[in-house]
Structure 1
Amino acid sequence: MVDLRLSESELDARREHVVQFIQDTAEAAGTDRAILGLSGGIDSTLTAYLTAEALGAEHLHGLVMPGAVSRNDNMSDAEWVAQELEIPYDVFEINPIVDRFLDAYSEAEDDKTAVGNVRARSRAVLNYLVANHEDAMVVGTGNRSEALVGYFTKYGDGAVDCHPLGNLYKQQVRQLAAHVGVPKELVEKEPTAGLWAGQTDEEELGLDYDTLDSILALHVDGPLSVAATAREVEGVTEAQVEQVRKMYERSAHKRSVPPAPEPLH
């Protein structure tokens, strides 16, 4: 695998850079408050730590939003993070909201992807409901690895005002989390979006994050060809590199605003 780990000085610089970004984004939005969905995963946990550092714990409102398929340990970890940081938080059960959507359109109730995306989008609506009421901004938790391959729900967890971790590969997220003092249990926890029962990120992606990061850094973000990347990353085939490239290309629409026709002249 490609070693994307940062030195101690680089970690300090990234921490300072992200904290300043959050402060600048809040100031530009005319607020000193933020809303953050807490999942108990490493991305939302690190984002919580850095946002609390940037704005003050009292100015960060955490939302814990379990659904029917949420793992109990994820939700308890989410509350643990809020209590550890001493940030105010609320728990909203999203299952009644999702059920109302499925009551309205029952044809989709057996489509796990469609229902999983409704869960993500219901959380986004709650984030903005609270944010609008409190005149706050919604802070996202997306990292670079997932953004590049489109591993997020459009208008769901992608519906935010900023992504403080947006330039960090997943392994760098873990490293920075350990650096700022996130408990080891959360740093090493298996990632899951919790969109359906038994779901894990790496199984759904078809690659472990270290392999994905290596391919992205060398081929998508870097100059190497498919063949050269496969030679450079031990145990990776050209087909896997192509798979990541296709994921990147097919998800381009998720990383840009909805298109409109070119203006007539």
Structure 2
Amino acid sequence: MISNPTLKNYLDLDYGKVTDYLVNKLRDYIRDSGKKGGVVGVSGGIDSAVTATLLSRATQNFYFLIMPSNSTPQQDLEDALHLTEMLNGKDKRTIISIDNIVENFSNVVNTRDKLIVGNIKARTRMILLYAFAQKMDYLVIGTGDKSELLLGYFTKYGDGGVDVLPIGDLFKTQVRKLGEYLKLPSRIVSKPSSPALWEGQTAEGELGVSYEVVDPILYLLEKGKGDLEITSELGVNLNLVRRIRTMVERSRHKRLPPEIFKLP
């Protein structure tokens, strides 16, 4: 447990100002790109729910793709449908089961490895998002948050393959608070985060620690604090801080464009 009573102050934000800023910034970004609107994949989770809501406030030209697979919990599908209806997007959405597409890719690769198949699912969704975006002359609006980006908890050229990341500078715990401010359904706001690339997968289950613990560590790492300093300030285990730092460092390549080897 984290014992520092001032911990929450690190990540406090004025979510009214955050909402106004992100909506206006997204509206301007779409306009300046020369595109007509934006398409977002809605999963039933908090990140996509917040992103979809911001997009719907930024422009009337929004479109939602709901792309369940055999590992998508029924509640996630129900929540995605409910959210898009809340946002007046019932006539601006397409629901596509990706199982047949993923099965074809998996057969070509001749694999049933859950990690490989899971990444195929994420990249299949990216292909569909870009196909719809190109057809409509829209941008692909990404749903990744800062915690996932720093930890490398996304699929390169899958959910990481997007045109813009409106909530990419918000930690997961901040996204949940923003969801509360936007009055999103409580079961979406409080739902355990999961890409659902295989049955039973949860982000915090794989991390072995909650985002309430991870986010302050990530925040202080970004501020340049040392491992021992973070351990002392937050009252967390030194090995945990080192593990989080290692995850950030080893996933750095996923946050960068491909390296171009310049000729001498």
TM-score interval (norm. to shorter): over 0.9
CA distance in structure 2 between the partners assigned to 1:250 and 1:173 by the alignment: 24
Partner of residue 15, structure 2: 11
* Moved beyond 2 Å, runs of 4+: 4-7
Partner of residue 230, structure 2: 229
Partner of residue 46, structure 1: 50
1:158 aligns with 2:160: yes
Partner-residue secondary structure (3-state), 1:34: strand
CA distance in structure 1 between the partners assigned to 2:32 and 2:255 by the alignment: 22
Partner of residue 73, structure 1: 75
Partner of residue 89, structure 1: 93
Partner of residue 143, structure 1: 145
CA deviation vs aligned residue, 1:119-170 (integer Å, no higher than 9, x gap) = 0000000000100000000000011111011100000000000000011011
TM-score by length of 2: 0.94
Partner of residue 36, structure 1: 40
Partner-residue secondary structure (3-state), 1:62: strand
Shift of 1:258: 0.5
Q: Which moved more, 1:175-184 or 1:46-55?
A: 175-184
List alignment gaps of at least 5 residues for structure 2. none
Amino acid at match of 2:12: L
1:194–1:200: 8 Å Cα contact kept in structure 2? yes
Partner of residue 205, structure 1: 207
CA distance in structure 1 between the partners assigned to 2:71 and 2:32 by the alignment: 37
Partner-residue secondary structure (3-state), 1:24: helix
Question: What is the correspondence of 1:90-239 to structure 2 with a 5 Å cutoff?
Answer: 90-106=94-110, 108-109=111-112, 111-218=113-220, 220-234=221-235, 236-239=236-239
Shift of 1:98: 0.5
CA distance in structure 2 between the partners assigned to 1:86 and 1:11 by the alignment: 23
CA deviation vs aligned residue, 1:196-242 (integer Å, no higher than 9, x gap) = 01000101122210111011011x212321011112223x2111100
Partner-residue secondary structure (3-state), 1:75: helix
Partner of residue 254, structure 1: 254
Amino acid at match of 1:158: G
Partner-residue secondary structure (3-state), 1:182: coil
Amino acid at match of 2:191: K
Amino acid at match of 1:169: F
Partner of residue 243, structure 2: 243
Partner-residue secondary structure (3-state), 1:47: helix
CA deviation vs aligned residue, 1:2-28 (integer Å, no higher than 9, x gap) = 314435xx2111111111121121012
Amino acid at match of 1:54: A
List alignment gaps of at least 5 residues for structure 1. none
Q: Please provide the CA RMSD for this pair.
A: 1.1
Shift of 1:260: 1.2
CA distance in structure 2 between the partners assigned to 1:97 and 1:183 by the alignment: 31
Amino acid at match of 1:163: L
CA distance in structure 1 between the partners assigned to 2:251 and 2:62 by the alignment: 31
1:32–1:55: 8 Å Cα contact kept in structure 2? no
Percent sequence identity is 36
Shift of 1:61: 0.7
